[in-house]
Structure 1
Amino acid sequence: MYKAQRKSGWRFTLVELLVAMSVFSLLLVLMMQFFSGAQKIWVSTEEKNNLYADARVAMDLIATFLQGTYFSQGGSGGNSAATDTHKGVPFVIENGTSEKAEIYFPTQTQMDLIENAGEIVFVTFQRGETNSTTPANDRSNELRMAILSDSPDDNASVGDFSLLFPPYNSATTGVGFANRNAAETRIKELLQDKIKEKIDSSDPDKTEYHNQCIILLDNVTAFRIIPMKTEKFKSATSTDDKGEDDLSQIPFLVEIQLSLMDKKSYELWKELKDSNAERAKEFRLQHEHTFSRTVYLGDRWSQTF
C-alpha cells in the first residue's frame, strides 16, 4: 500500500504539465525576441557600416582629384594678355551651398581611368537630373562623376583637347577659344552631356566606357561644394568673386559635404515627401547621415598670374 502511494506521487498531474509548457513557451518567446532584436541591431549596424564605407570611398575620390587640381600660368598674346578671362584653366563651382552643387575642374591623375588618355583630364561631380514628371526617370538620388579627356572619342567632340587650356588667343590666330569663359562653357556642355546619359542598368559596374560617367553613390539627399577664399585672393573688380556659392577660380579651401540615407529609409522618405512634407522633414533629420571633408588647395590661383 505504501509503495503504491509512493509510485503514484512521482507522476505529473495535467495541471503541472500545463504550467511547465506555459513557462517553456514564455521562455521560448523571450529568447526569440532577444535573438530577433539582436539580429535587427546587427543588420542595422551592417547597413550603417556599408553606408559609411561607401561615403568614405566617394569622399576620398573627390578629395584625391581636387588635390591634383591642375593650374597653369597661362596667358595669351596681344592686347588681351592682361585680362583675367584670358588666363588660367577653368575651375568652376556652381550652386555650391545648395543641395545640388556642381564642380568642374582639371586634374592630374595617375589612374588609368580612360584608355589612350593623357594625365590631365577635366572632371565633374554632381547629382543626376531631377525628373518630377516621371519619377522612374529621376536620377537626383545619384552622385555621378564624368570625365573629359584627350581620348580619341572625346577629341571627336572637342576638336582638339589642348585648346581647352590657355593661352586663349583665337582673336589673333582664328583657332581655339576667345577666352577662358568660352572654354569653360564648352567644358561644362560636354561634361553635362555625359552626366545626363542613361547608364545601362544591366552593367554591373554602372558605367559605360564610351560615356565615361560613373555612379559613385545612390540615395544621396544633398551634395555641397563650398569654396572658401581669403581676402588677399579677392579682387574688387573681378567678376570671379561671386561669393561662396559660385566660383570661377581655384579657392583656398574646398569643403565637401555629402548627405545620404540607406536604401530603405530613402524610399520611405520619398513617399513621405509626396504626402506629408512636415513628417518628411522630421524623418530626414532622423535618418540622414552627413559627411564632411575639407581639402586644402592653397594659393594656386594667385600663382597662376
Structure 2
Amino acid sequence: MSEAVSVRVDGRTVRLTNLDKVLYADGFTKGEVIDYYARIAPVLLPHLADRALTLKRFPDGVDGPSFFEKNVSRHAPDWVRTVRLATPGSGRGNEHADYAVAEDTATLVWAANLAALELHVPQWTVDPRGARRDPDLLVFDLDPGAPATIVECCRVAELLRAELAGDGLPAYPKTSGSKGLQLYVPIRGSDAERPREYARELAERLAADRPQQIVSKMRRALRDGKVLIDWSQNNTAKTTVAPYSLRAREHPTVSAPVTWDEVESCARPQDLVFTPAAVLDRVAEHGDLLADLRGEANLLPSR
C-alpha cells in the first residue's frame, strides 16, 4: 500500500491513505474514487448543501463488508460541519446522531478517503441552527424486478411524468446507478407527511391501472417482471443516493442525471449506464442536468 500523504483542498489539510488500494473488481482504486469526487464536486455539492449526510463505507472494497455511517467518525477533522439530529427508533438505541454536512470539496475528499463510495441524503435540509426544514424534494424510486430492467423503468417513468404534469409538477430523472431510475420533483409548502402521502397515492393509482406492469407494494414476491414505484423514500427518516454519487457495483457506476430524451430512447440497459469518466464528460458538455431542482419549487395538490 502507498504511504499516507497530506494534500491541501479548499485551504484545508486532508490526510489521504492507501491511495492504490483497489476498491472495485476492475481495479478502480481509492485514489481514483477520491479524484472523481474532487472533480465532480462543483455539481455534486449543491445537491448535498444543508443535508444530513449518510455515508456507505466499503473499507475493503465492493466485495467486502460495508456499513452505513450516520455518526461522524471521532477522527473527523474539526472543520467538517456536523448537525445533531434525533434518531428515534434507532436500531442501536441512540437518541441522536451527529451527521456530517458536506459544504466543500475538502469534506468530499475526506469522506472518499474513508472509502465512503456512496453518499445518501434525505429529501429535506437543515437551517443554520440545525433545525430540520420541511421536505423540498419529492422522489420516486423505480426498482425493476427481474427480468425487468431499467428499460421497463423508463416506460413507467414516462407514465409518472405525465401524471405529475397533470398536477402541475415537473419531474427530473436520474439513474440509480444500480438497476433502476429515480424521479425528483422540487416542492415547497408541504408538511413532513404530505410528500409521502401524495407519492403513495400516485403509485397505488398507477399500479391499479397497470397491474401487469407496475407494483406499489414493497413485497419482493410481487415484483417479478414488474417495476416497483417505491414511494417510501419520502419518509423523513429515509435517504436516497445523491445525484453524482458512485455506486458499489462490480464496476464503478454513477447515479447520473439524464434527459427525458434519453429516458424515452432507452432500449437496452446499457444505454443508461454511466462510468465516472463518462459523467465527468457529460458535466463538461451539459453542466448539471438537475440544476433546476434548486429553482422554483411547486406546491403539491391538497388532500
TM-score interval, normalised by the smaller of the two chains: under 0.3
Indicate the structure (1 or 2) with the bigger Cα radius of gyration: 1
Scaled by the length of structure 1, what TM-score is found? 0.22
More helix by share: 1
